[in-house]
Amino acid sequence: MIPQETVNLIVDTARIEEVVGDFVTLKRRGASFVACCPFHNEKTPSFYVTPSKGIFKCFGCGKAGSAVGFVMEHEHCSYVEALRYLAQKYHIEIKEEELSADEIVRRQHRESLLLVSDFAQQFYVSQLQSPEGRALGYRYLQGRGVTDDTIRRFGLGWAPSGRTALLDAATAAGYKLEYLVDAGLVVRHEDGTCSDKFRERVLFPIHSLSGRVIAYSGRTLRSDNPVKYLNSPDTEIYTKGRILLGIWEAKAEIARQDKCILVEGNLDMVTLHQLGITNVVASCGTALTVEQIRLIHKFTENITMMYDGDAAGIHAAMRGINLVLAEGLNVKIVLLPEGEDPDSFSRKHTLAEVQAFLAEGERDFIGCKSELLLAEAGEDPLKKAALINDIADTIAQIPDAVKRAVYVETTAVRFGIESGILFDRIAVMRRKMQEEARREASRSRRDDTPAAPSQEPDAVPQEAGVPEENRTLARVEQDLLYLLLRHGCDTLEFESDSPHYISEEEKWTVAGFIRNALQEDGSHLSNSAYRKVYEAYGRLYDEGLDAEGILHRLLNDPDVQVARLSAQLSTEKYPLTVQRFAASLTATASWLVQVVPKSIFVYHEKRIQVEMDRLRRSLATATAEQQTEILNQLKRLQTAQRKARRLSGREKMNDRK
C-alpha cells in the first residue's frame, strides 16, 4: 500500500497539463488548454484542461477528473497503477506500507505481465548478440540497412531457436509460468507442455503510449515458414487492434508536424525513422481498425497512407480510406512505384528525395481512386458509372457537411456530371448509414438493462456511468452537490429580517446551511453515488480544509466514482435547476442567499413528490379503509408541496406560465 503522505506528494506534484500533454496535443486558450477529446470521437474540440484547478473536463462525453483520473481513464488502469505512473514520471520514490496477501494478488497480475514483458525485452535484445543471433538476426538487419543505433533505439531483438529458451531464462530469474503465458510469451499446449511463443525470429517490441513494452511482432527468416510475421496474442495489457507499432516513438513528431504517415510493415516504419522521417507508425501488417485511427486522432487529423506499390498495397489503402474519413480525419495516399515498398524505397533515396516524393506524390482519395479505377474501367460506361458511385459512397462517409460539399464539387468537375446527382446518391447512402446506426443502437440498448423512465419533465440525462436509484431526486441532488463543491465554504450573508439570519457574529456557510437543512428534515441523499460524494465532502469539511483543499482531495479520491462525480459536478458548465432564479442577480453573495435556500425547498418538494407517487401506486392494492387513509395523507402532502413550491418560487413561476 502506498502511504498517504506519498499519495499526497504525487497528486500535489503532478501538473494536469503536463500529464495530459503526454497523450494529447493541447492548445492554449486563455487560462486553459483545449483539445479534441481522447475518449470519444469529435471534430470540434470540447476537451478542456484547467491548470489552476488541476482538472480536465470534456463537455462532449462528460468525462472529467484530475491527473490521476486521466491516467486511469486513458491507460485503463487502477488508482494505484495511475499513482505509480505519475510517481515514475516525476521521479518520486514510493516506499510502500505492508500489504495484505489479497491486496498483493489483486494488483500484481497486470504489473507482473508488464514486468515479464520487460524481462523478455532484455532477453531478446541480449540474444541478438549471441552467436546464433548475430549469424541470423543481426546479419538480416544489417542486410536490410538497419544501423546499430536504430537497433538500440527501437530495442530490436532475436528470439532464439530453442523451444524453451525464454521460458527457461525467465523461470530461472524467478518469473512465474502463469505470467509468461498470460503475457503471450509462452504457449501452453494441450498435452500440458509449454514452449516459447517466438522462436527463430527478429523481434520488434510494441510499446504502449506510456512507453511500456506490451507485445512483440516477430519476423521469421525461414523461407519454409508460411507465417512471415507473428504477433503477440491479445492479452490484459495488449489489444492488437488498438495500438500501432512505433506510436510511442512517433507521437511527439506526429503532433508537431500535424500529420501521421501510416505504413504496413515493421521495417517500413523503422527504416523511415532511421532516414529521418519520424512521424511514422505501422499497423504490423494487419488491417487498419477504427481504434487505431482514433489513436492517431489524438495527435493529428491528417493521415498519409504510404503503402506498397503492388496490388495488395493498393487494395489495403482503398480499404482504409472509408474508415479514416468516417472518423473525421483527412486522408492522403502515396502510391510507391510498382515493386517498391517504403523500406526499399527509403533505402534507395536520400531524406530530401523521399520528402520531396511525399510532398509531390500525396493524392486525395478522389484523385487516387480515379487514377486507379479509370484504368480498369476504360471506355466502359457502366464501369465508369460504378467508379463514380464508389467515390460518392466514399464521400458519404465524411461526417462534415462542408467537406462533403467540396469533394462533391471536385468529383463533379473531374467527371463532368451534375453535382446534384452526387448529392442525391450521398443522401441515400447517409440515410442507410443512419438507419444502420439506429439499428445498432437499438441492439445495444436491448443488451443493456433499461433505465427507469424519468418522472421529472425537465430531467436531463444522468451522468455517464452513474447508477441513479431515484431519478426524480437525481437532478436536485446534483444541484446540492454543485453548490457544495463550488461554494460550500462561502458565507451566506442573510439580511437581518431573513428567517435564516443568525447574527452578525455567526453566519451560515453554504455547506453548513445545507447540512443543517437535511438533518432537520431527517433526510439524506437518495442516490447512493451522490450520497458518497456528499459524505466525502462532509468529512473533509469537518477537517477544516478550505474549498480548494476539499476539491483537490475529492478529485484524487481513491473511490473512482467520487473523483469522477466531483469533477463533473464542480465545473462551470453544470446547469442548476434553480438557475433561473439567479438570472437577474449579479453579486455572488446575493445569488447564493437566494439559490441555496431555494435549492433546499426544491429538494423538499421533490421528496414529497416521491412519497406521493409511492402512495398513489399503493392505492391499487389497498383496502377501502387503507385507501381513505392514503387519500388523507396525499391531501396533507399536497398542502406541504404547495408550501414548498411557494418558498422555492416555482409555484409563482408556474402561474406565470
> Which residues have C-beta within 8 Å of that of residue 6, sequence separation ≥ 6?
87, 92, 94, 95
Give pLDDT, residue 169. Answer: 96
> Which residues have C-beta within 8 Å of that of residue 19, sequence separation ≥ 6?
67, 70, 71, 86, 89
Give pLDDT, residue 577. Answer: 47
β-bridge pairing 201-207 and 213-220: antiparallel
One-letter amino acid of 272: L
> Measured between alpha carbons, how far is 445 from 552 in angstroms, rounded to an integer?
36
Give pLDDT, residue 375. Answer: 66
The answer to whether 304 touches 362, Cβ cutoff 8 Å, is: yes
Alpha helices in 365-458 (DSSP H): 365-377, 381-395, 401-415, 419-447
> Measured between alpha carbons, how far is 536 from 550 in angstroms, rounded to an integer?
9
Please give the C-alpha separations between residue 223 and each of 195, 219, 220, 227, 341, in angstroms, as whole numbers.
22, 11, 8, 10, 20
Helices and strands (H and E) in the chain: how many: 28, 16
For 584, the grid coordinates are 437577474
The answer to whether 267 touches 231, Cβ cutoff 8 Å, is: no
Q: Say yes or no to pLDDT of 464 above 90.
A: no
Q: Which helix (H) or strand (E) holds 334?
A: strand 330-335
> Measured between alpha carbons, how far is 480 from 595 in angstroms, rounded to an integer?
10
The answer to whether 241 touches 291, Cβ cutoff 8 Å, is: yes
> Measured between alpha carbons, how far is 510 from 343 in angstroms, rounded to an integer?
66
β-bridge pairing 260-263 and 280-282: parallel
> Measured between alpha carbons, how far is 436 from 284 in angstroms, rounded to an integer?
30
Give pLDDT, residue 241. Answer: 86
The answer to whether 268 touches 304, Cβ cutoff 8 Å, is: no
Give pLDDT, residue 178. Answer: 93
- Dihedral over alpha carbons 507, 511, 517, 521 (to 10 degrees): -150
Phi, psi of 302 (to 5 degrees): -120, 125
> Measured between alpha carbons, how far is 423 from 429 in angstroms, rounded to an integer?
10
The DSSP code for 105 is H
Of residues 393 and 437, the one with the higher pLDDT is 393
Q: Which of 55-69, 178-192, 223-237, 641-655 has the lowest mean pLDDT?
A: 641-655
> Measured between alpha carbons, how far is 178 from 175 in angstroms, rounded to an integer?
9
Q: Say yes or no to pLDDT of 213 above 50.
A: yes
For 178, the grid coordinates are 502463469
Q: Which of 54-68, 353-367, 638-652 has the lowest mean pLDDT?
A: 638-652
The answer to whether 181 touches 194, Cβ cutoff 8 Å, is: yes
What are 498-535's pLDDT values in tens digits?
777 777 778 888 888 888 888 877 778 888 888 899 99
Q: Say yes or no to pLDDT of 581 above 50.
A: no
Phi, psi of 52 (to 5 degrees): -65, -25
Q: Say yes or no to pLDDT of 201 above 90.
A: yes
One-letter amino acid of 393: D
Average pLDDT, whole number, for the chain? 83
For 618, the grid coordinates are 399503493
Cα end-to-end distance, the chain, whole Å: 58
Q: Which helix (H) or strand (E) holds 595?
A: helix 588-618
Phi, psi of 476 (to 5 degrees): -70, -30
Please give the C-alpha separations between residue 624 and each of 36, 393, 612, 613, 616, in angstroms, as whole numbers.
62, 67, 18, 19, 14
CA-closest candidate to residue 492, choices 591, 598, 578, 574? 591
Give pLDDT, residue 572. Answer: 53
Q: Which helix (H) or strand (E) holds 632?
A: helix 624-648
> Measured between alpha carbons, how far is 159 from 221 in angstroms, rounded to an integer?
11
> Which residues have C-beta within 8 Å of that of residue 351, sequence separation ≥ 6?
275, 276, 277
Give pLDDT, residue 128. Answer: 96
Q: Say yes or no to pLDDT of 190 above 70.
A: yes
What are 428-444's pLDDT values in tens digits?
998 888 888 777 766 65
> Measured between alpha carbons, how far is 116 from 120 in angstroms, rounded to an integer?
6
One-letter amino acid of 214: I
The DSSP code for 46 is -
Confidence of residue 104 (pLDDT cuts 50, 70, 90): low
β-bridge pairing 302-307 and 363-364: unpaired
The DSSP code for 579 is G
Note if the pTM is more than 0.75.
Answer: no
Q: Say yes or no to pLDDT of 584 above 50.
A: no
What are 321-332's pLDDT values in tens digits?
888 998 889 999
Q: Which of 69-73, 118-122, 193-197, 435-439 has the lowest mean pLDDT?
A: 435-439
The answer to whether 244 touches 261, Cβ cutoff 8 Å, is: no
Phi, psi of 228 (to 5 degrees): -65, -50
- Find the mean pLDDT for residues 152-177: 95
The answer to whether 336 touches 306, Cβ cutoff 8 Å, is: yes
For 484, the grid coordinates are 457544495
The segment with the largest mean pLDDT, out of 72-81, 212-221, 357-366, 587-596, is: 212-221
Alpha helices in 201-341 (DSSP H): 247-257, 266-275, 290-297, 311-326
- Find the mean pLDDT for residues 235-245: 90
**Strand, coil or helix: 235:** coil
Please give the C-alpha separations between residue 19 and each of 49, 77, 91, 430, 506, in angstroms, as whole numbers.
10, 15, 14, 39, 43
> Measured between alpha carbons, how far is 229 from 464 in angstroms, rounded to an integer?
41
Please give the C-alpha separations between residue 176 and each of 185, 248, 441, 544, in angstroms, as whole numbers.
12, 28, 43, 48
β-bridge pairing 302-307 and 280-282: unpaired
> Measured between alpha carbons, how far is 229 from 502 in angstroms, rounded to an integer?
77
CA-closest candidate to residue 204, choices 137, 286, 143, 251? 137
> Measured between alpha carbons, how far is 451 from 466 in angstroms, rounded to an integer?
11
